[in-house]
Amino acid sequence: MVDALTKLAITYGTDKFGYHDYTPNYYKLLKHLKNRPIKLLEIGVGGYQDADRGGESLEVWRDFFPKAQIVGIDIQKKEMDLGERVSILQGSQVDAEFLETLVRDHGPFDVIIDDGSHRNEHVVTSFQLLYPTLAEGGIYVVEDVQTAFFPRFGGSLEMTAPNSVGYFADMVRKFDSDRADVPADITTISRFHNMIAMHKGQAGQATDLKAMFKPLKDAPVRLLEISPEGVSLAGWRDYFAEGQITGIATGEQADDLGPRVQVVKASKPSLKDIKKLRSDFGPFDIVIDNTGHKGDSVKMFEALWPGLNDTGYYVLTGADAAVADFAHDRFVEVDHREMQVFFPEVEVNPVARQIYEMTRSKGLITLYKAPNDYPSNFRFEFDNPQAVHALDEMEKVLNRSGKERGFLLFADIMTRGGDDKRAAKMLKKLAALGASSRSYFNMAVRQAKIDKDWDGAMVLLRMAVKTYPDDYRIRSQLGSVFSKEKEWEKAEKEFVRGIELAPKDPLLRIQLANALSRLDRPDEAVLAASSACELVPAHVGHRVQLGRLQSNAGQFEAAVETLNQAVALDGEMANAHRQLSRALAELGRNSEALEVADKALALVPENPEYKRWQERLRAA
């Protein structure tokens, strides 16, 4: 069963649920504000450069907070009416003058959400500019912080400035000691998968542990406290009326506290003592290490964490240098999935897969234990158990209360996951709704192509072009259908128009190059493909296409150079070797051509065309 915020996210089709698992965490962070007249700012409206796309999450916030004023900002111009309580402004998240005006006219904000560029330097700059303006009691959330590990967003494993996760992890390390780089009014830092939240209060404000454990108050919890005097045990016994309380008193033996309290005396508990206690009295729902950290807390954590139930809490009070370093590293590794996308060799502490939430507050580090293995959206695994559960829940909600963009997002996920049946089901619902958005047309045409329904694709595309004559993606789709029908002149016309609309789109140039080649204009085809490679120099597929077209145009020396570059970029692409072999053969370099053909066939040994080519070269 999903929470109210997640239902809205599914209904409106924001990727804060599905490709991500954010809204359950947002619900936990924000539900206490639901019926208050708050002001919420979200950086990033979505939809990229299209003025009429995006805004899904703004609709979610609008409906979840019925008394709130919602403001969205985006670097692109957005033209959409989401109701009188929602304002959308154009501006940069790192433009200090724009942000000052924004806060003056629409703030101060109670909630600020950074879902903007995700570039590390932008995330840090926006926080430094906007956090001081946040209302007291407010929450500042940065999402998609996985880009801290992605080089193309300025990320790395080194966590050096301006790395966003490194920036906030440094705050976690210094929280109880050197606060010079930590705003004094940050009372708590919360960490989830791909998310970090800063809570603003009064400087020095302490966290109430009992308030944190309130959902468990009437449950038969098992709590373990390691305490110098056992002074808190009676309090926990009284708070958890059904609980079993175990204490390790490292000082004087505590008084008899009744049948629900077990006290073990140990002036300095060994790991053997800890493991025996875990065996005798565990597993625990709450573990509190209240010893003040005299050098053994990390070892005790390693011994006790396996004895903590899922959905359990592990609390460390205070922090010496060793614990501060431990907290810093675990804070970073919450995004272990994302770290390993670009750095598969990185070593991550195995407990990272079980730290669902981590909070840092005055004198406290709290780890919430639950599965933390949701797949990265940059390498989404559709068979991941957590993802499977989320997608099943999405389908249930959509079948009851779906709207167009919710159906679209689910159909997109299913298409990418290869589940054409579920995708087609959603597209039928969209057709019945009379959907006419850009996204619908693009997705419906893609499905028609999968179904090899070329007539249906053409009908959809003619409707789409009439509705959106200036959408380059629709022109690209229409041109591809004309190409399929071998109507090359019509295809050329659509690709040329698409390039006029989107001069920096490389795919359109490759599509145009292929059409020109079919029209027996090889030199023009080479020029079009060359321009695509200039736009994306590291795109191997486009470079292979250029090499093939250069061979078609009789430019064999140039083709060899281009295809060698492609092989250097990706030696596992069989077609790069195949096209290189062809160009070498045309130059009379048969022994080299055969050697390269062997490599191509080794990569795809069952390819009959590659086998015939190899045999032809051997015969020559």
Rounded-to-integer distance, Cα 549 and Cα 517, Å: 7
The one catalytic residue among 20, 118, 122, 336: 118
The beta strand positions in 175-257, using DSSP E, are 186-192, 195-200, 222-227, 244-249
Coil, strand, or helix at residue 219? Answer: coil
Rounded-to-integer distance, Cα 312 and Cα 323, Å: 20
Residues in the chain: 620
Rounded-to-integer distance, Cα 375 and Cα 594, Å: 42
Alpha helices in 55-109 (DSSP H): 56-64, 96-106
* Cβ atoms of residues 515 and 479 within 8 Å: yes
Instruction: Verify whether residue 118 is a known catalytic residue.
Output: yes
Rounded-to-integer distance, Cα 450 and Cα 456, Å: 11
Task: Name the residue with tokens 């916030």.
Answer: 61
Which two three-digit tokens encode residue 483?
């190409």
* Cβ atoms of residues 3 and 24 within 8 Å: yes
* Cβ atoms of residues 72 and 86 within 8 Å: yes
Task: Name the residue with tokens 């609390």.
Answer: 315
* Cβ atoms of residues 580 and 574 within 8 Å: no
Rounded-to-integer distance, Cα 14 and Cα 16, Å: 5
Looking only at the bridges linking them, the beta strands covering 308-317 and 261-265 are: unpaired
Rounded-to-integer distance, Cα 619 and Cα 368, Å: 68
Give the residue from 336, 218, 364 showing the smallest Cα distance to 285.
Answer: 218
Give the residue from 105, 85, 95, 82 showing the smallest Cα distance to 43.
Answer: 95
Helices 164-174 and 120-130, packing angle to 10 deg: 50
Q: How far is residue 263 CA from its own chain's centroid?
A: 45
Who's near 205: CB < 8 A, 6+ residues apart?
187, 362
Helices 472-484 and 488-501, packing angle to 10 deg: 170
Which one-letter DSSP state was computed for residue 485?
T
Rounded-to-integer distance, Cα 278 and Cα 306, Å: 9
Rounded-to-integer distance, Cα 590 and Cα 98, Å: 64
* Cβ atoms of residues 441 and 474 within 8 Å: yes
**CA distance readout (Å), 79 to 73, 105, 229, 249, 411:** 12, 20, 64, 64, 25
Rounded-to-integer distance, Cα 33 and Cα 25, Å: 14
Rounded-to-integer distance, Cα 566 and Cα 576, Å: 6
Rounded-to-integer distance, Cα 493 and Cα 82, Å: 37
DSSP assignment string, 141-167: EEE-GGGGG-GGGT--SS--TT-HHHH
**CA distance readout (Å), 57 to 16, 397, 406:** 8, 17, 11
Beta bridge partners of 262: 246
Catalytic residues: 118
